[in-house]
Homo-oligomer: A and B are copies of this chain.
Amino acid sequence: MPKPFFDYSRILTQIAVEVRPLCDQGRVADYIPMLAAIPKSRFGIAVYTNAGKQYVVGDAEIAFSIQSISKVYGLTLALQAVGESLWERVGREPSGNAFNSLVQLEYEKGIPRNPFINAGALVVADIILSHYSNPKETLLAFVRARANNPYIQVDSAVAQSEKDTGFRNAALANFLKSFKNLDNEVSAVLDFYFYQCAIAMTCIDLAKSFRFLANAGICPWTNEAILTPSLTKRVNAIMLTSGTYDAAGDFVYRVGMPAKSGVGGGIVALIPNVLTTAVWSPGLNEKGNSLAGTMALELLTTKTRMSIF
Query: Which residues of A come within 8 Å of B, CB atoms?
Result: 1, 91-97, 101-104, 106-107, 113-114, 167-168, 170-175, 177-178, 186, 230, 232-234, 236-238, 240-242, 246-250, 252-253, 256, 258, 272-273, 302, 307-309
In the bound complex, CA of A97 to CA of B246 (Å): 13
- Please tell me if the beta carbons of B250 and A93 are within 8 angstroms of each other in the complex: yes
In the bound complex, CA of A232 to CA of B272 (Å): 20
Q: Which of A1, A167, A168, A307 has the most CB of B within 10 A?
A: A167
- Please tell me if the beta carbons of B178 and A167 are within 8 angstroms of each other in the complex: yes
Shortest Cβ distance from A275 into chain B, in angstroms?
A: 14
A170: B residues at CB distance < 8 A: 170-171, 174, 177, 186
Shortest Cβ distance from A289 into chain B, in angstroms?
A: 13
In the bound complex, CA of A279 to CA of B236 (Å): 25
- Please tell me if the beta carbons of A236 and B309 are within 8 angstroms of each other in the complex: yes
Shortest Cβ distance from A228 into chain B, in angstroms?
A: 12
Shortest Cβ distance from A54 into chain B, in angstroms?
A: 23
- Please tell me if the beta carbons of B186 and A247 are within 8 angstroms of each other in the complex: no
- Please tell me if the beta carbons of A248 and B93 are within 8 angstroms of each other in the complex: yes
- Please tell me if the beta carbons of A256 and B241 are within 8 angstroms of each other in the complex: no
A113: B residues at CB distance < 8 A: 96, 249
Residue of B nearest to A3 (CB): B1
Which one of B167, B248, B272, B302 lies within 8 Å of A174 (CB-CB)?
B167
A101: B residues at CB distance < 8 A: 106
A93: B residues at CB distance < 8 A: 94, 96, 246-250
A256: B residues at CB distance < 8 A: 233, 237
Residue of B nearest to A213 (CB): B309
A252: B residues at CB distance < 8 A: 237-238, 240-241
Shortest Cβ distance from A5 into chain B, in angstroms?
A: 18
- Please tell me if the beta carbons of B94 and A241 are within 8 angstroms of each other in the complex: yes
Which one of B94, B102, B240, B308 lies within 8 Å of A106 (CB-CB)?
B102
- Please tell me if the beta carbons of A248 and B94 are within 8 angstroms of each other in the complex: yes
User: Besides A1-B273, A167-B186, 16 other CB < 8 A contacts?
Assistant: A92-B253, A93-B94, A94-B241, A95-B96, A96-B96, A96-B104, A96-B113, A102-B106, A170-B170, A170-B171, A237-B252, A240-B240, A241-B241, A241-B248, A241-B249, A308-B308
Shortest Cβ distance from A191 into chain B, in angstroms?
A: 15
